[in-house]
Structure 1
Amino acid sequence: MSGGAVGVESPTRQAISAAQRLVVKVGSSSLTTAEGGLDHERLDALVGILAKKVASGSQVVLVSSGAIAAGIAPLGLRGRPKDLATQQAAASVGQQTLAHAYADSFVRHHLTVGQVLLTANDVVRRSHYRNARRTLNRLLALGAIPVVNENDTVATAEIRFGDNDRLAALVSHLVGAEAMVLLSDVDALYDGDPRQEGSAVVSEVTSPSDMAGVSVASSGTSGLGTGGMASKVEAARVACSAGIPVLLTSAAQAVRALGPADVGTAFAATGAHLSARRFWLAHAAGARGRLHLDEGAVAAVVKRRRSLLAAGVTGVEGAFEGGDVVELAGPSGTVVARGVVAYDAGELPELIGRSSHELPPEQRREVVHADDLVAMR
């Protein structure tokens, strides 16, 4: 089936079309040949579309995959490398190729690009998060096009985003984007394998119920990227939960995606725009441990947005220090919130389950303060 133009214009699509600041993510398969070389014709076509969007008055941040894929052919590799060292070598060659290609292409439209390479540490650590946000906002203010990619040359398994779809969602919040557009090799979200007869396009996702029965793949079809439909749907969920609507379609539909937004699958914003700190807590920060809560504490934290006290904690997992981010789980084990813990893991066992009046004055502070909490449901 085909994810062609949508007949009815929804409020979500109107918001995406009217966005004055948006993040566009393009996948490896949309920029490279099957052999792994950079496809300059397709890159130039995308740049032309983005330049037209900028000329209309919008600010655009481009999150671009393709560095590792672009390095495959120059290094004489037969396909995407599986070992980390060769991936990093391919990225070091391909990133340079990709950056030069974008700079040369955008300059023909009298636009300047700024390359921004990020690792997960740049959003997991709050100081780095703020620095990345300042850099991106300043580039936009100066009229430049930030071209963002994961710094694959130095990223290791422990500090990777995993795919650029998640990176795009985090960047969307970093810059206060009004919309996010995900461009890949699939024209929309389908309710089954799009290669199978009978699979239908899911045109709009306005709530989790719209995803009921939808099966998504966890890897791309080209073999050149790390993402898949599952990562795109998860990235859309993250962005939408922070008040940012998302359009998912193919790079071949980019003209309409960045115009009337009447193609592909539109994901409606499902939550209010979170503060930078709460978004960081919910989606960017890496949890160093877990606290188990009783039902009363879950109600206080999730429903009443109260601080977590020692009396409501029933168990401690992990080796964390005061100031680290931890997950808060209810009696069933489901994570219900995340927050910045005020104690080291070794200090908590003697405090948990005890009321404040039972503790010495120096240990009566909150385990996690309400200002450092974000509910996850």
Structure 2
Amino acid sequence: MPDTRTRIAAAKRIVVKVGSSSLTTASGGLDPSLLDGLVDALAARRAAGSQVVLVSSGAIASGLAPLGLGRRPRDLATQQASASVGQLVLGHAYVSSFARYQLRVGQVLLTSDDVVRRAHYRNAQRTLSRLLALGVVPVVNENDTVATEEIRFGDNDRLAALVAYLVGADALVLLSDVDGLYDGDPRLGGARRIDEVAGEADVEHVRADEPATEVGTGGMASKLASARLSSTAGVPVLIAAAADAARALDTADVGTAFAASPRRLTPRRFWLAYAANPKGRLRLDDGAVAAVVGRRRSLLAAGITAVDGDFEAGDVVELTDSRATTVARGMVAYDAVELPAIIGRKTHDLAPEHRREVVHADDLVPLRQPSD
């Protein structure tokens, strides 16, 4: 079995994400030399025979200078206006830069609705697959011009992880201004870089809570979360510095490598676990957690201790343990208003119409092991 870095170096279809701070100047304007350096590395990977999808931040940041804004705006309307101007600036820069290698690019703008709603999910999947089949380099970004707080991905790291699964990528590379994952804040000194992550035990002690930059929304915490998401779903991940993009996309011998789970989730189970927006929460007792997570059984009413949220049958809900830690997600078979009357009761004590699973095992995805 090839090691993680070998798999990333050999990936035939790869998703690469770059952050705003890796494309802009200190004042927030787009830096053509940084963008060209990234494109050089992507073009080399294409020349080596790989298909490449680029998830690029930078639309809002690219609009700051043309609009005379000194910093990233805080209000949503100005962010959207800046993105509207900046998308054209950024898109033109990519078209011109990739043209140096006779490569065509296509812009794909997504909101979380395009991933959360399964019909939209399939449409986005078809579009990206067709662009790749036509030899185009898709440049994906969150549609900041129309996205509201309710439908935002939150940062492009999570978007990149979802896109990697969406297109069936063999690897995900997250590029930023930090050269890997550290066990503390590297700016404070004394932090150690973690070169290899084989499993959750390797990062349980990591505190990756440094703030986002002036021009971006993501930080190392979002990259760690996205790396966990992708690796759990079966896609190996590399976190590296944008300045090392050439090596990251060639030998992959830089940064922090996250090994992939040996089994890739099916599209339906991936959607349940990571793409769908949960509408509520069901709190489980210890026995139910052990049954649902440890033995992959259906969730019955007897194991539920509390219900939170306003959901309907068919919605996705989170299942939590007694410490309120999410241990699974699933598609619930009852409306929220129906459950309080039946939770905690044995199946044989319920009316016949309620003697069914609250969440069937086929509609349930465990996310972690039960709490000790």
Q: TM-score, normalized by length of structure 1?
A: 0.93
> Residues of 2 paired with 1:288 and 1:198: CA distance?
42
2:55 corresponds to: 63
2:243 corresponds to: 252
Given that residues 19 and 58 in structure 1 are in contact (C-alpha distance below 8 angstroms), is that contact kept between their aligned partners in structure 2? Answer: yes
2:225 corresponds to: 234
Among residues 258, 267, 273, which one is paired with 1:276 in the alignment? 267
> Residues of 1 paired with 2:295 and 2:202: CA distance?
29
2:104 corresponds to: 112
Given that residues 240 and 271 in structure 1 are in contact (C-alpha distance below 8 angstroms), is that contact kept between their aligned partners in structure 2? Answer: no
| Displacement of 1:213 | 4.1
Given that residues 247 and 266 in structure 1 are in contact (C-alpha distance below 8 angstroms), is that contact kept between their aligned partners in structure 2? Answer: yes
Trace 1:145-184 onto structure 2 (pairs within 5 A).
145-184=137-176
Among residues 337, 341, 366, which one is paired with 1:375 in the alignment? 366
Instruction: Give the counterpart letter for 2:286 in structure 1.
Output: E
3-state SS, counterpart of residue 146 of structure 1: strand
2:330 corresponds to: 339
> Residues of 1 paired with 2:362 and 2:223: CA distance?
31
| Displacement of 1:212 | 4.8
- RMSD over equivalenced CA pairs, Å: 1.7
Given that residues 185 and 210 in structure 2 are in contact (C-alpha distance below 8 angstroms), is that contact kept between their aligned partners in structure 1? Answer: no
Trace 1:116-135 onto structure 2 (pairs within 5 A).
116-135=108-127
| Displacement of 1:271 | 5.3
Trace 1:31-110 onto structure 2 (pairs within 5 A).
31-110=23-102
Determine whether 1:328 maps to 2:308: no
2:347 corresponds to: 356
Given that residues 102 and 113 in structure 1 are in contact (C-alpha distance below 8 angstroms), is that contact kept between their aligned partners in structure 2? Answer: yes
> Residues of 1 paired with 2:256 and 2:217: CA distance?
21
3-state SS, counterpart of residue 128 of structure 1: helix
> Residues of 2 paired with 1:285 and 1:83: CA distance?
27
2:17 corresponds to: 25
| Displacement of 1:335 | 1.9
Determine whether 1:303 maps to 2:290: no
| Displacement of 1:40 | 1.5
The number of equivalent residue pairs is: 367
> Residues 110, 278 of structure 1: CA spacing in aligned structure 2 closer, same or farther, 3 A cutoff?
same
3-state SS, counterpart of residue 43 of structure 1: helix
> Residues of 1 paired with 2:348 and 2:183: CA distance?
55
Instruction: Give the counterpart letter for 1:181 in structure 2.
Output: V
> Residues 346, 198 of structure 1: CA spacing in aligned structure 2 closer, same or farther, 3 A cutoff?
closer
Instruction: Give the counterpart letter for 2:55 in structure 1.
Output: V
Among residues 214, 219, 238, which one is paired with 1:223 in the alignment? 214
